[in-house]
Structure 1
Amino acid sequence: MASSKQTVLPFLPSSAGFTARIHPVVLFNICDCYVRRPDQAERVIGTLLGSVSPDGTVEIRNTYAVPHSEPGDQVAIDVDYHHNMYASHQKVNPKEVIVGWFSTGLGVSGRSALIHEFYSREVTNPVHLTVDTGFTDGEASIKAYISINLSLGDRQLAAQFQEIPLDFRMVEAEQVGFDILKTTMVDKLPNDLEGMEASMERLLALIDDVYKYVDGVVEGNVAPDNNNGRLISDALSSIPKMSPAVFDKVFNDKIQDNLALVYLSSLTRTQLSIAEKLNTAAQIL
């Protein structure tokens, strides 16, 4: 296990100076990976990406799942997949580096120590993030840990996971989306067409509210507000000026691009599923 210094008993190790900040997209990615996990898999694990500030604050901005299996007391990680995913991510976001790993479930276990040892070889002092997707205590418990070695003289006795402070970091747009999702319960996730339809209905409702407000101000039924006026002016000025024909062409082109992406992603998932089944069959034979 990686550690910044040796700790001698009977003094307890300290995690002072270590804090973590997490963006909402990380939690959504982890939940999505858990929903799409392979059959019979109890939990999913993956790599955390972000940055580390000089004061020891770890900012977690992104993540990806890593295939693994846990037969008995052992753990097998697809190291090649992990390295390939990280290399691909570096081409897109070179400033985001490995800062730790995540797992679903409540708390840590003995097998978590084995996985943490692997990530300790990837980065110094990795952060271990746990997300209780099973809502064991009636809520999604989210905690962050670091591992500290317990030593007696030059002899290492054990490794201890110690919890560190964890804060949520959200920009204004993320906060709005997070609040909506937090208070919304649906029977099933909407598909792309249903999501677009709901967004357009919401946009039309907002436009209708603006029309009513402006008409009320003009007729003298509503007291004018300079701040609202500036916001409406900024919104109107941000709309690109184009003819209806050009708008229709741009909109239709965007729809075609989205449909092409959906088709390609569906084709990729099918190919991966076929490759996984062939690989499983080859191992059986």
Structure 2
Amino acid sequence: MAASDQTVLQFFPSTTSLSAKVHPVVVFSICDCYVRRQDQAERVIGTLLGSILPDGTVDIRNSYAVPHNESSDQVALDIDYHHNMFLSHQKVNPKEVIVGWYSTGFGVSGGSALIHEFYAREVANPVHLTVDTGFRNGEATIKAYVSVNLSLGDRQLAAQFHEIPLDLRMIEAERVGFDILKKTIVDKLPNDLEGMEASMERLLALFDDVYKYVDDVVEGRVAPDNSIGRFITDTVASIPKMPPAVFDKLLNDRLQDHLLLLYLSSLTRTQLSLAEKLNTASQIL
């Protein structure tokens, strides 16, 4: 057979160079929708909103659930509800567009290809975000996928989901809540001081890791990485230079302000509770 008569089986992995960044509020919203789902629903799916950053990263900032019914061989989406919700979000924040869709569960399921095909008509190269609300690996695993086409000559045969890098960065206040969300059993919610203590412990652990890495590079046990070195340099340079006494005073002043706010908020809650009880008693009498 001549070379020109051969049919080539090929992938088109152009979308696999993408990466995604998801904000914690999206994860919290997905978990809330899963808790509020209908009794017969095994999973929740919905639309992801965000934007494309200049470096090509898909920035996922918002989401909403879409009612659906699915069986072993078909999936039915409420398309009208999806479009109405998107139009409502556009009125509030016109910069957020559809960037993909999400589903709860571990990994990609059988009906995911059908749903992904629908969102591919809404936006080019949609991102599929999965959140494991079943804690199969002991925590809520979060992954992002894109679809890679498999073609035989000019005919498309199938689509394969390919995992892409996912960045889940958050501030410390969000991380305290996210760490609680990842656990299967929670004894009690930490108060503000306990959350601050946990943040300080993580910060000290990061300092120890940086010290160990720098020592290993200096001693020749680890090959140096210029990108890590520049990141450490920029981090150290961003710290304001001040005497230890000034730093201690600044920290203590901020801590006292924080405790004062907690005290005032507690007084406010107590006053509102007393006012509500007095109002109820006056209506009864």
C-alpha displacement at 1:144, in angstroms?
0.7
The CA deviation string for residues 222-243 of structure 1, in whole angstroms up to 9 with x for no partner, is xx84213123445778999xxx
Q: How many positions carry a matched residue from both structures?
A: 218
Q: From the superposition, tell whether residues 186 and 239 of structure 1 become closer, same or farther in structure 2 (CA, over 3 Å).
A: closer
2:136 maps to a residue whose letter is: T
Q: From the superposition, tell whether residues 70 and 182 of structure 1 become closer, same or farther in structure 2 (CA, over 3 Å).
A: closer
For 1:229, the equivalent position in structure 2 comes to: 249
Query: Do the aligned residues in 2 keep the contact of 1:15 with 1:164 (CA within 8 Å)?
Result: no
CA distance in 2, matches of 1:139, 1:237: 36
C-alpha displacement at 1:162, in angstroms?
0.8
For 2:117, the equivalent position in structure 1 comes to: 117
Q: From the superposition, tell whether residues 227 and 57 of structure 1 become closer, same or farther in structure 2 (CA, over 3 Å).
A: same
TM-score, normalization by structure 2 = 0.64
Q: From the superposition, tell whether residues 11 and 149 of structure 1 become closer, same or farther in structure 2 (CA, over 3 Å).
A: closer
CA distance in 2, matches of 1:125, 1:181: 30
User: Pairwise mapping of residues 146-161 of structure 1 onto structure 2 (< 5 A)?
Assistant: 146-161=146-161
C-alpha displacement at 1:74, in angstroms?
1.0
C-alpha displacement at 1:174, in angstroms?
2.0
Query: Do the aligned residues in 1 keep the contact of 2:45 with 2:68 (CA within 8 Å)?
Result: yes
The sequence identity of aligned pairs, in percent, is: 68
Q: From the superposition, tell whether residues 104 and 255 of structure 1 become closer, same or farther in structure 2 (CA, over 3 Å).
A: farther
Q: From the superposition, tell whether residues 231 and 183 of structure 1 become closer, same or farther in structure 2 (CA, over 3 Å).
A: farther
Query: Do the aligned residues in 1 keep the contact of 2:11 with 2:150 (CA within 8 Å)?
Result: no
Query: Do the aligned residues in 2 keep the contact of 1:47 with 1:101 (CA within 8 Å)?
Result: yes
RMSD over aligned Cα, in angstroms?
3.6
The CA deviation string for residues 114-162 of structure 1, in whole angstroms up to 9 with x for no partner, is 1111111111110001111112233322211111221122211111111
For 2:104, the equivalent position in structure 1 comes to: 104
CA distance in 1, matches of 2:55, 2:116: 23
For 2:237, the equivalent position in structure 1 comes to: none
For 2:220, the equivalent position in structure 1 comes to: none
With 177-186 and 144-153 compared, the bigger mean Cα shift is at 177-186
CA distance in 2, matches of 1:109, 1:184: 23
1:230 maps to a residue whose letter is: L
User: Pairwise mapping of residues 1-285 of structure 1 onto structure 2 (< 5 A)?
Assistant: 9-11=9-11, 13-179=13-179, 185-186=185-186, 202=192, 225-233=245-253
